[in-house]
Amino acid sequence: MSHDTSLAGRHALVTGAGSGIGTAVARRLAAAGARVTLAGRREAPLREVAAALGDSTTFVVPGFDVTDEDAIARGLAAARAALGPVDILVNNAGAVESAPFAKTTTETWDRVIAVDLTAVFLVTRAVLPDLRARGAGARVISIASTAGVTGYRYVAAYCAAKHGVVGMTRALALELATTGVTVNAVCPGFTDTPLLDASIAEFVARTGRSAEAARATLTAANPQGRLVTPDEVADAVLWIASPGASSINGQAVVVAGGEVLS
């Protein structure tokens, strides 16, 4: 088994790179030698990450709305001009909204599907020519969720979207299997990020329970009795991106402390 995790000379594009898992992934890939495009909608957080990583090895693409094909095209063109064709795509941008199924509006459904599923399709399709040209060593890694391999109450739209990401990952992995490009999903359990904080706030508003109680409930879902850390998710991404993971293809890699057994 190869332990080579060097990504020297590779160009990695990470969406949603301004916080949480996206920032941790960007940090791991840069430390392994990759040149990293930090893509996201808000410029200030991306600039902070770039300053921490070193401006010489990173490129910031603000206004990268993953639901907007024109914004994707503009951002990708800028990233290519700065750092060359993309070798590694990490689809990390996402959002979650919760409501009982009967109270989930069509607008909420459409919004969640657009951000968490259609966006992964749009960005991957846009980057695909680069990955095909690169061939062996090129990677698509989508941050799904344990919601992509099991179900949770009150987030039907999110579960549907993340199941879709896993299904799309498996289909594309088979299409590209002979090209050397691998396509995988990483499925974190409840992870200590700003997105989780937002979910807790929504839970508190809906139920009237305290934030501490909500966090304890989520923590208890992990048999290890803790939340997953962004760095643990980033470690899984780094491994899949590495040369030694060339036979890992079409997989949904769960990072959840045993919450979901696959």
d(CA 254, CA 262): 8
Residues 6 or more apart from 55 whose CB is under 8 A from it?
none
Residues 6 or more apart from 54 whose CB is under 8 A from it?
30
Residue 255: in which H helix or E strand, if any? strand 252-255
Whether residue 89 contacts residue 139, with contact meaning beta carbons closer than 8 Å, is answered with: yes
Query: Which residue matches tokens 């791991």?
Result: 28
Distance of CA 197 to the CA centre of its chain: 17
Residue in 97, 121, 127, 99 with CA at minimum distance from that of residue 13 = 127
- Buried (b) or exposed (e) across 162-195, using 16+ Cβ within 10 A? bbbbbebbbebbeebeeeebbbbbbbbbbbbbeb
Q: Is 33 left (phi over 0), alpha (psi -120 to 50) or beta?
A: left
- The β-bridge partners of 14 are 38, 90
d(CA 76, CA 64): 9
Token pair recorded at residue 15 = 């969406």
Catalytic site positions: 158
